[in-house]
Amino acid sequence: MCQVDEEYNGLEKTPAPTLNKKCVKCKEETAVLNIRVNDAFCRSCFKEYFIHKFRAMLGKNRVIFPQEKVNVLLAVSGGSASCAMVSQVQEGLSRDAPKKLRFLPGIIYIDEGGACGLSSDERQRSVAQLKKIFTETGFPYFIVPLEQVFSLPTSVLVPGTSDPDWSGASYKIAVDEFIREKQEVTSGVDQLSLDDSVCAPEHTQSLHRLFSSIKTLTAKEDMLHTLRQHLILHTARVNGYSKVMMGDSCSRLAVKLLSNIALGRGAALASDTGFSDTRYGDVVIVRPMRDYSSKEIVFYSRMFHVPSAFIPSLDTKTPNKSSIQHLTESFVTNLQSDFPSTVSTIYRTSEKLHTALPQRSQEPASKCLLCLCAIDTTVDEASALHATLVSERLSQIKPHESCDGVNAARCCGEGQGCGSTGPCSYNRSLLNEDLKTLLCYSCRLTVKDVEAVSTLPTYITTEAEKRQTRSRMKMQISEYLLNDDDDE
């Protein structure tokens, strides 16, 4: 039996750092930093170690292939992790790199100041600071305000067709083709110039109404993440990018894993925290920084002068208990300070996760309307979720002498008159309950905190009404449809 007070004392016993400690790799130079216990590096060895880890992550997973020349979009938030990712891509494309990266990237930054309550001057200063960083890289860049979600098409919510498999013998052919065409492609990259998107005043007002109608900070952060992903996805598709690199570090993914479990996203953990996320079909999300801890990234950025920018977010200067995401981050960070293996243990657990849901149809109706993951609410009647849904439905039904039990709550809630000679003929406008049937469990909780569904962007409500209409039409003609088991 463990004796906590006598042997462990509740803390991990780590040796105190000592001066003049030699580098664990070269055994000659004096170490300048200690990443973990007995992992002390000198300056040059730490840089080599940092670069090698980035290359090894891309090479081990083999998701980015040589034929994708201008098809990799770097999603940058301005923080140290995403800026370090841009620095590693620059390092891999430099002339003196032993094995160059075989793609030409672009950069995208989503300006979230409208949702975070920043003034116009603060947003302009942040954009100017990041624009200077992006210009120095020489990569084409996109600066997209979050308000642009109110002008997105409904096709954003439709999963695209995935790219063909380039593994095996065709991989070498693609490499040879890339080498032959590289000079032609490289000659035109430096001349690319992209104008910044301009947000209309009515879009800014719509964004304010949307986030003002969301009750909790937890739902606001989740909605912000969803809208940001939709903008990145749309930009990647319009400009021909088939891969998007995210700067999620090991520490960030550990927090994301625990917070997503608390938010009811257990079925989508493999997609949310894995190296690659293929839920969108034609655009794959890649996380090459997932092996780096925040400590390593901060050390590298400080020692080698990687520029970054601090931009306030929704949870800036808020108490720890203001949202589930912020509380989880505080919990993991405080636990990591006393138990240095906390983050790595959570992270290694995420590597073993796989999607438990069976492969379903690629039709849009089988995907969640917001996060585009498989809908996980199709459960047995004996489940706790089904009991909760039945309880909610029964509590919302209002008695009406001319309404049937299914439509009573909706028609009476809208104040529509019901015909006495037939079924309820209420106005079929989109309601909160209608939207829930198109969402996964976690997104249902988010939409539940939205006071008015009408404040959502138009492309979401339009797609929701389209799916509802198709579902009603399918029910009406269901008796005339042939099943797959029927004989021809």
Considering 6-10, 155-159, 169-173, 381-385, the range whose residues carry the highest mean pLDDT is: 155-159
CA distance 123 to 350: 35
CB contact at 8 A, 295 and 33? no
CA distances (Å), 48 to each of 44, 59, 247, in order? 6, 16, 19
The percentage of the chain sitting over the pLDDT mark of 90, rounded to a whole number, equals 39
The number of beta carbons lying within 10 Å of the beta carbon of residue 69 is 17
Alpha carbon of 293 to those of 271, 320, 340: distances in Å? 20, 22, 11
Reported as a pLDDT band with limits 50, 70 and 90, residue 417 is: very low
Among candidate residues 399, 413, 448, 375, the one with its CA nearest the CA of residue 159: 375
Q: At 300, is the pLDDT very low, low, confident or very high (cuts 50, 70, 90)?
A: very high
pLDDT tens track for 27-50:
888 888 888 777 889 999 999 999
CATH of region 63-362: 3.40.50.620
Query: Looking at 105-119, 208-222, 371-385, 442-456, which range is the least confident one?
Result: 371-385
Instruction: Specify the amino acid at residue 73.
Output: L
Distances in whole angstroms, Cα of residue 105 to Cα of each of 221, 238, 283, 397: 28, 15, 14, 54
Q: Which of 193, 195, 242 is nearest to 69 (CA)?
A: 242
pLDDT value for 65: 64
Helix (H, G, I), strand (E, B) or coil at 75: strand
Q: d(Cα 288, Cα 143) in Å, to the nearest integer?
A: 22
- From CA 234, how far away is CA 153, in angstroms rounded? 9
- Cβ atoms within 10 Å of 433's Cβ, excluding its own: 14
How far is the C-alpha of 143 from the C-alpha of 126, rounded, in Å? 11
Q: Between 141 and 6, name the one with better pLDDT.
A: 141
Residue 141 belongs to what H/E stretch?
Answer: strand 141-145
Q: What does the CA dihedral 129, 132, 137, 139 come to, rounded to 10 degrees?
A: 100
Position 358 scores a pLDDT of 47
Are 410 and 429 within 8 A, CB to CB? no
Q: Copy the structure tokens of residue 237.
A: 């598709």
What are 218's two structure tokens? 């937890």
Other CB atoms within a 10 A radius of the CB of residue 301 amount to: 18
* Residues pairing with 22 in the sheet: 30
Judge contact between 46 and 33, C-beta under 8 A.
yes
Cα(258)–Cα(247) distance, integer angstroms: 18
Residues 69, 71, 72, 78: is their CA dihedral positive or negative? positive
Least confident window among 86-100, 143-157, 195-209, 290-304: 195-209
CB contact at 8 A, 71 and 174: no
Tens of pLDDT, residue by residue over 401-411, are 444 444 444 44
Residue with tokens 């004989």: 487
**Predicted local distance difference test score (pLDDT) of residue 175:** 43
Are 275 and 61 spatial neighbours (Cβ–Cβ below 8 Å)? yes
Q: Mind listing the pLDDT tens digit for each residue in 352-362? A: 877 655 444 45
How would you classify residue 238: left for phi > 0, otherwise alpha for psi between -120 and 50, otherwise beta? alpha
397: confidence class by pLDDT, cuts 50, 70, 90? low
Inform me whether the pLDDT recorded for 256 exceeds 90. yes
* Better-predicted residue by pLDDT, 474 or 317: 317
Other CB atoms closer than 10 Å to residue 130's CB: what's the count?
23
Mind giving me the DSSP string for 77-88?
Answer: -SSHHHHHHHHH
**H or E segment and range at residue 108:** strand 105-111
The Cα 219–Cα 325 span in angstroms is: 10
Q: Nearest 5°: CA angle at 348, between 343 and 350?
A: 100
Q: Where in the chain is the domain with CATH 3.40.50.620?
A: 63-362
pTM for this predicted structure: 0.81
